[in-house]
Amino acid sequence: MEKPGERAVRGHGGAPAPGADPADDVGQPGLVCAEYTPELQLELLGIEPSMLEPPILDLGCGAAASLVRHLQQRELRGVIGLDPRAPVACGFVRASWFELSFPSSTWRTLIAHQSFALHFLHAHLRSESVAARFAHKYLELLRSLQVGGRFFYAPGLPFVEEHLDPGAFRVTRRPVPVASIPPAALDLAALYGPDGIYAASVERLR
């Protein structure tokens, strides 16, 4: 059965086309594809239970999709996981975020733990054209939030957050211990200094 919010992710499912698109970064060398416990993800992102307002979309939820399953087990309605490696099950979309469009004012909560932002950072450090594509998708994702909705992600994206209109989006930063950042992001710590690694939430204000 379709859950609330499921129709809000438009595109097609199915397995990713290997190597077809350089921005389709699943399995890209140098990027760790580890998965984390729901407790760790919620703590690192600074998400309190009261902040989990549906509809919720977990971008890059992983093959085990432990956070989505955890939230679904808590009988939270309207929790969707998106990942080309997502389980083949109700409540999941097997696709890349680049294959889909995200209609405006749809989601109350977007979550992307060590997924969208990690790949965006990777592109920012290596490829201007791929980074531009991520920047475009990032803004589309922010606009897909309902007013008052929040996008929680880690690691933070200082180079793009600084360009957001503060009247439209409020950025909140939360320090993250460097030990919990995958190796691919550590060169960012070298670039930005030890205080540069953080988890972010962006709230849409209008």
Residues in contact with ligand SAM by CB under 6 A are: 24-26, 32-36, 41, 60-62, 82-85, 96-98, 113-115, 119
- Which residue lies nearer to ligand SAM by CB, 187 or 205? 187
- Which residue lies nearer to ligand SAM by CB, 65 or 145? 65
What does the CA dihedral 160, 166, 168, 170 come to, rounded to 10 degrees? 80
Report CA-CA distances (Å) from 14 to 87, 99, 185: 11, 11, 29
The distance of closest approach from Cβ of residue 30 to ligand SAM in the complex, given in angstroms and rounded to an integer, is 12
- Which residue lies nearer to ligand SAM by CB, 33 or 135? 33
| 129-141 per-residue burial string, b: 16 or more CB within 10 A, e: under 16 | ebbebbbebbeeb
The distance of closest approach from Cβ of residue 49 to ligand SAM in the complex, given in angstroms and rounded to an integer, is 18
The distance of closest approach from Cβ of residue 19 to ligand SAM in the complex, given in angstroms and rounded to an integer, is 13
The distance of closest approach from Cβ of residue 168 to ligand SAM in the complex, given in angstroms and rounded to an integer, is 25
The distance of closest approach from Cβ of residue 116 to ligand SAM in the complex, given in angstroms and rounded to an integer, is 7
**In the complex, residue closest to ligand SAM by CB:** 60
